[in-house]
Amino acid sequence: MHGADTDGRVVAAACTIAIDDLPDGLIVADRDGCVLAVNRAAARLTGVSMERAVGRHMSDVFPFRDHDGRDWWKALDPEGGLRIRSRVPERPLHLPGGQELYVAARLVREPERGGEVERVTITLRDGGARARLERSRADLVSTVAHELRSPLTSVKGFTATMLAKWERFTDEQKRVMLETVNNDADRVTRLITELLDVSRIESGRLEVRRQVVDISARVRRLIAGRVAAGESEGRFRLIVGDDLPEMWLDQDKIDQILGNLVENALRHGRGTVTIEIESVGWGVAVSVRDEGEGIEPELAPRVFRQFWRGGNSRRRGGTGLGLFIVKGLVEAHGGTITVQRAPEGGAEFRFTVPTGTPDFATP
């Protein structure tokens, strides 16, 4: 016999499961609608405690309504309908205060096939969190459409013009147009790479392939590339501490982390960009500092969110995904990243990654 104890436990055969351990809200009621149990997550989502709910009718303590204002429990009608009915699909419902929750139910029958309904188990999920996720995805689609439109329009325009009037252009004009097409193609490739990284981070499918990485050598290589691209060599300062440990990291992802942080400092900061590498107790810490306006303390929690842009970054371009990706890549290595005001007044991003071995467990 299955049942629900008043101490918040559901007993199933020989095992006892603490319903407060469940991540989603759970309400258990009998077929007449009398509440038998409420877990902690459901109490948090609805504001109704187990002590207040147990023994009372569902419609009195959990008066869920659909978008047309109908009583969900009455429409559920556990004793009506086909005797093979056991699952009620998830749907958005509202509490009297306007809070939206996603609610699903299962009709527990004895016997399982065709028996009478003994209990109804109801799961609750936060509608606000779902709405924020959907808005985030809509923002992502909007950002992608906006960022792709400009380079693709340029590529299409220049290629169409050259195909139609090839003989009219000088070699120098053709070279300039082809360079523009090449740069815009690189921009599209970078955007697609960012989107793939975001997808892997959100789904937990980010793989870390470890090898010995000399972080200071990767920073020197990054600076040399920036200088070759036109940045002044005096814009950069590298400080390397003594006795750095051997680091087993994913070289491509470390390059991406460093590249995004340096790009952020160059784009949004001013003055010298300082990269400092030092040994810490459990690994290596890398700090990237600029001498710009910095980031206000109250804005620091938002910096690593998707689409965060500070200062004049909208005017300067960018998708607002770079720092979100950096955080995901650092955490995939088992590390942490923070942002604070630098001694020179600008922003200081500091990430720490642990020492590892070839068989170090990939997060």
| pLDDT(200) > 70 | yes
Q: What pTM value is reported for the model?
A: 0.60
Number of residues that this document lists for the chain? 363
Mean pLDDT of the chain: 84
Residue 361 has a pLDDT of: 44
Residue 314 has a pLDDT of: 41
| pLDDT(279) > 90 | yes
Higher pLDDT, 314 or 161: 161
Q: What is the mean pLDDT of residues 337-343?
A: 89
Q: What is the mean pLDDT of residues 46-72?
A: 92
CB atoms within 10 A of CB 303: 19
Give the span between the Cα atoms of 89 and 122, in whole angstroms: 11
Q: What is the mean pLDDT of residues 34-61?
A: 94
Higher pLDDT, 100 or 344: 100
Q: What is the mean pLDDT of residues 259-273?
A: 90
| pLDDT(43) > 50 | yes
| pLDDT(359) > 60 | no
Give the span between the Cα atoms of 308 and 169, in whole angstroms: 43
Q: Among 64-68, 149-153, 165-169, 190-194, where is mean pLDDT lowest? A: 190-194
Residue 5 has a pLDDT of: 54
| pLDDT(148) > 60 | yes
Domains and their CATH numbers in the chain: 25-127 (3.30.450.20), 131-203 (1.10.287.130), 211-354 (3.30.565.10)
* 219 confidence band (pLDDT: 50, 70, 90): very high
What is the percent of the chain where pLDDT is above 90? Answer: 47
Look at residues 58, 55, 69 and name the one whose alpha carbon lies nearest to residue 105. 58
The pLDDT tens digits for 293-331 are 888 877 777 888 876 666 444 444 556 788 888 999 999
Residue 128 has a pLDDT of: 73
Q: Which residue has the tokens 């948090």?
A: 44
**Single-letter code of the amino acid located at 3:** G
Give the span between the Cα atoms of 143 and 148, in whole angstroms: 8
Higher pLDDT, 192 or 262: 262
Q: What is the mean pLDDT of residues 243-253?
A: 91
Q: Are 287 and 346 in contact (CB under 8 A)?
A: no
DSSP 112-127: TTT-EEEEEEEEEEEH
State the burial class of residue 160 (Cβ atoms within 10 Å of its Cβ: 0-12, 13-18, 19+): exposed
Q: What is the mean pLDDT of residues 98-122?
A: 90
Look at residues 259, 276, 270 and name the one whose alpha carbon lies nearest to residue 325. 259
| pLDDT(2) > 50 | no
Q: What is the mean pLDDT of residues 239-260?
A: 92
Residue 303 has a pLDDT of: 86
Q: Which residue has the tokens 């942490």?
A: 336
Helix axes 322-332, 171-203, angle to 10 degrees: 50
* Phi, psi angle pair for 208, to nearest 5°: -115, 115
What is the percent of the chain where pLDDT is above 70? Answer: 87
Residue 319 has a pLDDT of: 64
Q: Among 15-29, 130-144, 170-184, where is mean pLDDT lowest? A: 130-144
Higher pLDDT, 226 or 141: 226
